[in-house]
Amino acid sequence: MVCPLLRDRGYNLHLLVKQRTLPVIVKEVNDISANTGFDLQEGKIWAVDKPLGWSSFHVVKKLRGALLSRVRAHGVRKLKVGHAGTLDPLATGVMLICLGKTTKMIDTLQSKVKEYVATIKLGETTPSFDLETPVDATWPTDHITLPLIEEKLKDFIGTISQIPPSYSACKVDGKRAYKMARSGQEVELKPKTLVIDEIEIMSFDRENMTLTLRIVCSKGTYIRALARDIGASLGSGAHLSGLRRTRVGDYQVECCQSVEDAVAGIYRTEITVPSQDPKAPPVVIPAGEYISQEKDGGKDRRDILSYNERQQHTIFSTDETLTV
């Protein structure tokens, strides 16, 4: 249940019912994602566009593997690499990957305001609140109109209380909630307080009951849970059918690299590493070459497919016409 705690805090609720280009925030950002030489100990931040179906850990593992392949011959066996904020496997968009000393900035980066574009299917619910699981119930939608949506969305602006999804990385007695949920266990999570700064209606397709929103919010916001709560507030149900994180702080998705480009940049960049001899100066590993594995069919598999994709895969695999 959504419990608005503060209202009228000066937040602007945008209700522009049309498709439009997201505003570009004019603010200078250091180009630390560029393929320029870097010091392994000082570290670096990569802003990447996470692919659909990949877990956040998959992205970290991919970049860490590329880095280790470059520096292992110089005595480096371990690297400190992490990400500044989990992004659901069935979402795409901005992910910040930190190396070395920049991992100390993770908490600061995670606290930055985030922006999403979310597509919500009204009238249907799923256990995971997104496409990972099948529709488990249908709800009436004939009464849902644009004016009703505009009115109900006002209740979500400001500081609210939100119960995270059972299919989430939250921990219950030391166990990840999503692992418990996928194994059929009951999961009870406590509500969390968060802030939603803006919600803008980008489009509403009444025939298909599809609502697309731009959402600006604080750390800890589950857009899947927001979709659930919006559906309930409309006297219906809802689940998330698409999600893209378009901004984290000053990092915008338009400026992000693909994972493939980030990996290629690691191979094609000079890297300075400590010498194995404490008395010797640091070693500069010269830029090398990168051969894409995708050309030879080595494209990474997705960690999670949507329920419908899994069903389709099962059908085709049975006919021996498709392998993934």
Q: Is 64 helix (H, G, I), strand (E, B) or coil?
A: helix
> How far is the C-alpha of 108 from the C-alpha of 192, rounded, in Å?
19
List alpha helices for the chain, DSSP H: 56-71, 106-110, 146-153, 177-182, 223-233, 259-267, 307-318
The answer to whether the CB of 114 falls within 8 A of the CB of 221 is: yes
Write the DSSP symbol of residue 276: S
In the numeric block, the tokens 């690691």 are attached to 266
> How far is the C-alpha of 262 from the C-alpha of 92, rounded, in Å?
16
Catalytic position from the list 49, 88, 130, 229: 88
Does 88 participate in catalysis according to the annotation? yes
| CA 223 from centre of chain | 10
> How far is the C-alpha of 277 from the C-alpha of 168, rounded, in Å?
45
Write the DSSP symbol of residue 215: E
Closest to 272 measured CA to CA, from 106, 65, 69, 70: 70
Name the maximum alpha-carbon separation found in the chain: 76
Give me the DSSP letters along 154-186: GGGSEEEEEPPPSSSS-EETTEEHHHHHHTT--
In the numeric block, the tokens 């999961």 are attached to 187
Distances (CA, A) of 190 to 169, 187, 203, 240: 13, 10, 32, 21
> How far is the C-alpha of 165 from the C-alpha of 119, rounded, in Å?
17
Which residues belong to the active site? 88
